Amino acid sequence: MVKLGEYIDGATQLPYVAEGVKLRGRTIFLLPLFSNKPGEWFAFLPSGSGRLQRVALVDVIQGSYIAAAPIDPSSDFCLPLANLVFQQMSFSGVARPLMGLEDAIEGTASLLDLYEIVSNLHTAGHPGASQLTQALVNQLFVVSRSLFDVLQSLCRAVCSVVKRLDDPGKPLMKNLPTSFARVALHGDKPRSTDEISAKYGMPEPIAKFYRSQAPFLADIRQIRDGVIHRGHNVGYVMNLDEGLAVPTRDAPWNRLEIWDGACVGENELGSLRRLFAHVIHESAAATTRFAETFFSCIDLPAPISPGNRVFLRSPLNHYLIGIHHTLASPWERI
């Protein structure tokens, strides 16, 4: 292992890079490595000579790192798409969308923390609590929509480089727009798998992925556009004993098929926390489905760092790690 202060000649000599790996046009992202065997961090910074120098690192408080397993399962999680990009899709133009993806995921965790704060403000009788709630709901749909457009940026960057498995001589896709919604939807209506495949020259599994996301995206876009562009408010938010709630029979919330069971109380009032958890869970899950679909039908190089994964660390990640519990127990005061 490289000692503190020592230099290596380039990124291929980083301790987490497989010996003899063929990059095939990829970049090696410079990330901290936590090695479980010596139990220490390995971090490198570029020097003026073009080499990399190992520097001291005590810990990563927030950000990405590489390891064989999460250091703290309560705050560190592996986002499959971020790991796939690092390992096998780190082509030119992909680094910026990847940073956007990680920022968007961090943004969703922040929204869940802000939700708890705003809910507590309602309990305390804060005079501006309702206004803050409306602003937070607006932001929920902005972040969700932006996450899908980050996915689209990643897709466009990768499509210009990789080959399809079924016909390597054929472009992976053609005339792909910058908006995810423009692929999945025609106006407000979902496109069929066949239409998407024919229009953009997609392999069928990828076209099916876009089609599968279309209904959720249509709901998100309708609500977001109504709130942001047409000046509609999010409807009246009720402060119940069990938590914040919205009228599920009224627009725009009656568009969402999530109101059943424990998340709906008297007078058809549904848990606002359930709404937040649902939108964030579905948005994040789309990134995993995207990674699985791409991996199944494109020709990718061997992993850069076999046996390791990229983990995202944040003090707010416990909201994302525990989101299934939130969906199952949506009321924040029960």
Tracing tokens 């995206």 back to the chain, one arrives at: 217
pLDDT of residue 292: 95
60 Cα distance to chain centroid: 20
Rounded CA-CA distance 44/63 in Å is: 15
pLDDT of residue 234: 57
Question: How sure is the predictor about 93, in pLDDT bands with cuts at 50, 70 and 90?
Answer: confident
Predicted confidence (pLDDT) at residue 303 exceeds the cutoff of 80: yes
Percent of the chain with pLDDT over 70: 97
What is the average pLDDT across 148-167?
88
What is the average pLDDT across 102-126?
96
Rounded CA-CA distance 184/208 in Å is: 10
What is the average pLDDT across 80-92?
94
- Among residues 124, 180, 121, 126, the alpha carbon closest in space to that of 156 is found at 180
What is the average pLDDT across 240-256?
92
Domain boundaries, the chain: 7-328
Rounded CA-CA distance 297/294 in Å is: 6
Please give the mean pLDDT across all residues of the chain: 92
Tracing tokens 């968007």 back to the chain, one arrives at: 104
Rounded CA-CA distance 81/291 in Å is: 5
Cα 209 to Cα 7, 136, 206, 281: the distances in Å are 45, 29, 5, 17
Secondary structure (3-state) at 33:
strand
Rounded CA-CA distance 273/126 in Å is: 19
Cα 188 to Cα 22, 56, 77: the distances in Å are 44, 53, 34
- Among residues 302, 282, 281, 286, the alpha carbon closest in space to that of 84 is found at 302
pLDDT of residue 298: 87
Instruction: Say if residues 200 and 174 touch (Cβ distance below 8 Å).
Output: yes
Cα 57 to Cα 8, 44, 320: the distances in Å are 17, 9, 26
Question: Tell me: the pLDDT tens digits for 172-203?
Answer: 888 899 999 999 999 889 999 999 999 999 99
Question: Tell me: the pLDDT tens digits for 249-294?
Answer: 988 888 899 998 889 998 999 999 999 999 999 999 999 999 999 8
pLDDT of residue 269: 95
Predicted confidence (pLDDT) at residue 108 exceeds the cutoff of 90: yes
pLDDT of residue 233: 56
Question: Tell me: the pLDDT tens digits for 42-74?
Answer: 999 998 888 999 999 999 999 999 999 999 999
